[in-house]
């Protein structure tokens, strides 16, 4: 069985450094690269793309609300779906142009932070994301939360999609992520995260905080790059996956 392991990257900005991208790119198979709205800048984006290419890691855009100060984790209200669609097009287009300048095609798009969480539950925002991706390049993969509005939007638009679970985040009974403001929302122990992922893969289901199982296909596993100990978590997870007979591959290969 093929499975993708992805992480959020390129989240440094100017002199400010976030994450251990070089180490992470030796472990994961797909990289979600910030596009300047919550983190990242042209130099960081180019450097991250170059490193992904050197490691044979699939590169994807990681668009966000325009929220540098809040790292894209604050809900930005009041903008129309059409306005958000244009912002997403802008971000994907920027990374796609940089990727093409080095002859490395963009593979996927995955929304970041509050935008991703809101799109999972808001059909209008989910459709804005899907339409933005399709308008830039209909061959791009849309990364979705299983059973949520993003999955429905990708299917309706006709995009290729990847169903993703999080190694380091807890789930509510609806399949949404538990708010980071609540205890137990973020999993910091690498062994706990790896064991939990294997339980979900074996069950072919998302396992919620209260133990409920939500059946789904799982194509990709995410480790947040800014979580303390993220590299060690990704390393232990990869070792456990391969030890259980799974083969790690980029998103495009998993759904080929």
Domains of the chain: 2-254 (3.20.20.370)
Q: What pLDDT score does 148 carry?
A: 97
Q: What pLDDT score does 236 carry?
A: 94
Q: What pLDDT score does 180 carry?
A: 87
Query: Rounded distance, CA 175 to CA 151, Å?
Result: 12
pLDDT digits (tens, 9 = 90+) for 188-240: 999 999 999 999 999 999 999 999 999 999 999 999 887 778 999 999 999 99
3-state secondary structure of 19: coil
Tally helices (H) and strands (E) across the chain: 9, 10
Average pLDDT for runs of 10 along the chain of length 256: 97 92 97 98 98 98 96 93 97 98 97 96 98 98 97 98 96 93 91 94 96 97 87 95 97 98
Which residues partner with 6 through β-bridges?
30, 222
Which residues partner with 162 through β-bridges?
143
- Beta-strand ranges (E) seen in 77-216 are 108-109, 141-144, 160-166, 205-207, 213-215
Q: What pLDDT score does 4 carry?
A: 98
Please tell me whether the overall predicted TM-score, pTM, comes out greater than 0.85 for this model: yes
Q: What pLDDT score does 221 carry?
A: 98
């Amino acid at each position: 069985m093929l499975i993708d392991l992805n992480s959020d990257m390129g989240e440094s900005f100017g002199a400010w450094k976030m994450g251990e991208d070089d180490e992470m790119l030796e472990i994961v198979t797909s990289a979600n690269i910030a596009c300047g709205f919550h983190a990242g800048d042209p130099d960081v984006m180019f450097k991250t793309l170059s490193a992904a290419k050197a490691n044979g890691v699939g590169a994807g855009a990681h668009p966000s609300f325009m929220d540098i100060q809040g790292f894209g984790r604050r809900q930005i209200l009041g903008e129309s779906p059409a306005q958000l669609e244009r912002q997403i097009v802008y971000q994907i287009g920027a990374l796609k142009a940089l990727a093409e300048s080095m002859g490395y095609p963009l593979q996927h798009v995955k929304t970041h932070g509050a935008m991703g969480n809101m799109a999972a539950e808001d059909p209008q925002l989910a459709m804005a994301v899907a339409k933005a991706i399709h308008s830039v390049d209909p061959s791009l993969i849309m990364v979705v939360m299983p059973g949520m509005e993003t999955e429905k939007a990708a299917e309706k638009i006709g995009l290729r999609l990847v169903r993703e679970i999080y190694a380091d985040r807890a789930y509510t009974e609806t399949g949404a992520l538990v708010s980071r403001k609540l205890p137990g929302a973020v999993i910091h122990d690498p062994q706990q995260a790896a064991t939990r992922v294997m339980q979900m893969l074996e069950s072919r289901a998302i396992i919620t905080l209260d133990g409920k199982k939500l059946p789904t296909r799982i194509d990709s596993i995410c480790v947040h790059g800014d979580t303390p100990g993220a590299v060690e978590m990704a390393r232990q997870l990869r070792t456990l996956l391969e030890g259980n007979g799974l083969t790690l591959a980029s998103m495009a290969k998993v759904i080929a």
